[in-house]
A and B are shown apart, each in its own frame.
Chain A
Amino acid sequence: MRPRILIVDDEEPILLALREYFVPLQYEVDCARELEEAEALLSHVHYALLIADLRLTGSQGNEGLELIRFVRERSPWTRIVVLTGYGSAEIESEAVGRGVDAFLQKPMPLADLAEIASALTRGTA
């Protein structure tokens, strides 16, 4: 069975690029564009891995942190990668405190992201 991953980003081109990259790598890929959509999926679908942007609305919010909390409460077996172009040491520390598995800076080479995803999902499918 292929690992199922959820990619959450409010930028459609990024979602498309990540989907096109991960599907041939034998992942089942779902994409969500907003926090509530991601939470609704996470409530009813089992994901091996969540890859989420820190900011989902273009505002100064850090919805990615909210998603980490949600996943850790509802789906503790799901591994979490947060991507950000605006990360600070403080936010990274908070993300780690909430249980993120990897906190990565954008831009990140897709091959590197895929390597991390593979390591995190190994044996989870």
Chain B
Amino acid sequence: MSLWDRIIEPDGLTTVFQPIFRIAGEGRSTYAYEALTRGPKGTNIERSDVLFEYVRRKHRESEVDLLSIAAALRESRHLPGEPSLSLNVHASTLERDDSLAGSLAMLCAEHEVPLERIIIEIVEHAPPWSGPQLLASLAELRALGVRIALDDVGLGQSNFRMILDCHPNLLKIDRHFVNGCHADPHRRAVLLSIADLAVRLGGQAVAEGIEEERDLKAVTDLGIDLVQGYLLCLPRSSQALRDAEVPAEVA
């Protein structure tokens, strides 16, 4: 069986979830779960970074994005509470697949997940994937009540133009700016700038890659209260998260 056949067979892809927390004083609640796809077990592409590198090289992002969404929605029924679900989609899928919004609506209906719980997180947004169909896909998603997040803000193609084009509800600040920010005023200046931009655009910033208590304190001191990272919770199965006791926000 080829590697591609392993991907598309039933249960070829599995999902783990990493919470995005909202910090409030000393407490925290789960704002959303980001679905993270793992490749077929026992293969070289079980690791997500290798999986998606392989998929991009095969130019099969659209198919795998939809398979990943289906797997995440299927698995999400085991999650605790009913917080938002953040689903990664390549910018190339938004540009190439003019039926994405319809497919998402069908899958959500099938798995009884309200569209208001869905956040589409745009990943790997390199040119030429910023064309008219990408904007049309985003408009269709918004019309369904889906929120939009932009991943890796601050790096590469996640730039001001993408922010203007995509009107994201969430700006996910790349870990590069978060790691070590407690000791680096330059990093804090960037974080503050993006957080301010997010608010001015009617959205919110999320600090990704929190791995140290000192960085967590630094970002919350800057007013960024949505955070994600290994310090707070590793990516885990839905069942393991259900066993943990973190209160969830209702989307």
Contacts and interface: CB of A to CB of B under 8 A. Distances in A.
The answer to whether A and B interact is yes
Interface of A: 30-37, 39-41, 43-45
A37 B45 contact: yes
Count chain A CB atoms within 10 A of each CB in B2, B47, B57 and give the residue with the most.
B57
Contact of A37 (B47, B49, B54): B54
A44 B3 contact: no
A73 B41 CA distance: 30
Contacts of A36: 54, 57-58
In which size bucket is the chain B interface?
10 to 19
Contacts of A41: 44, 50
B110 interface: no
Interface of B: 2-3, 44-45, 47, 49-51, 53-54, 57-58
Nearest to A30: B44
Contact of A43 (B2, B3, B53, B58): B53
A50 B57 CA distance: 19
Contacts of B45: 37, 40
27 contacts: A30-B44, A31-B44, A32-B44, A33-B2, A33-B3, A35-B57, A36-B54, A36-B57, A36-B58, A37-B3, A37-B44, A37-B54, A39-B53, A39-B57, A40-B44, A40-B50, A40-B51, A40-B53, A40-B57, A41-B50, A43-B49, A43-B50, A43-B53, A44-B47, A44-B49, A44-B53, A45-B50
Nearest to B57: A36
Contacts of A30: 44
